[in-house]
C-alpha cells in the first residue's frame, strides 16, 4: 500500500484557488481495474482508491503516513508561470500575428 502526497491543481472551470492550497493524500491502486462482463463497466475490489485525505501542511500528511506505517512519496508542486496580460495587448503594434476573431 503506497500513498501519494501532493497539492492538487486548481479547478480549470474556476479562476480561484480555494481547494488547491491543501495537501492531498491518495492511495495507489493495489489491484488493476477489471471489466465487468455483463454491463461492461470497469470496477475494482480495492476500496482504498476511493479514499482521499486532505491536510493543511505537507508535514501533517507525512506524519500521518509515518504514524500509520504507510509507504509514501511526496510530489512537490511546480510553480506556475503567471504572465501579466492586459486587454490592450490584443491591439498593440508589437503583436506578432494579426488579431482576428
User: What is the rounded average pLDDT of the residues 21-50?
Assistant: 88
Are 4 and 72 in contact, with CB atoms under 8 Å apart? yes
Q: What confidence tens digit (pLDDT) does each residue in 78-93 have?
A: 887 777 888 887 777 7
What is the distance between the alpha carbons of residues 9 and 20, in angstroms, rounded to a whole number?
Answer: 6
pTM: 0.70
Q: What confidence tens digit (pLDDT) does each residue in 53-84 have?
A: 999 999 999 999 999 999 999 999 888 777 78
Model pLDDT, residue 101: 56
Q: How far is CA 58 from the centre of its chain?
A: 14
CATH fold label, 3-78: Double Stranded RNA Binding Domain (3.30.160)
User: Which residue in this structure is represented by grid cell 510553480?
Assistant: 79
Torsion of CA 11, 13, 17, 23, to 10 degrees: -10
Coil, helix or strand for 82? coil
Nearest to residue 48, comparing CAs of 2, 88, 7? 2
Amino acid at each position: 500500500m503506497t500513498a501519494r502526497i501532493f497539492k492538487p491543481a486548481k479547478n480549470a472551470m474556476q479562476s480561484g484557488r480555494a481547494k488547491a492550497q491543501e495537501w492531498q493524500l491518495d492511495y495507489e491502486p493495489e489491484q488493476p481495474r477489471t471489466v465487468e462482463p455483463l454491463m461492461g463497466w470497469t470496477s475494482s475490489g480495492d476500496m482504498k482508491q476511493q479514499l482521499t485525505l486532505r491536510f493543511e501542511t505537507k508535514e501533517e500528511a507525512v506524519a500521518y503516513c509515518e504514524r500509520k506505517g504507510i509507504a509514501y512519496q511526496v510530489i512537490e508542486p511546480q510553480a506556475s508561470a503567471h504572465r501579466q496580460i492586459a486587454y490592450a495587448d490584443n491591439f498593440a503594434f508589437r503583436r506578432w500575428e494579426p488579431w482576428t476573431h
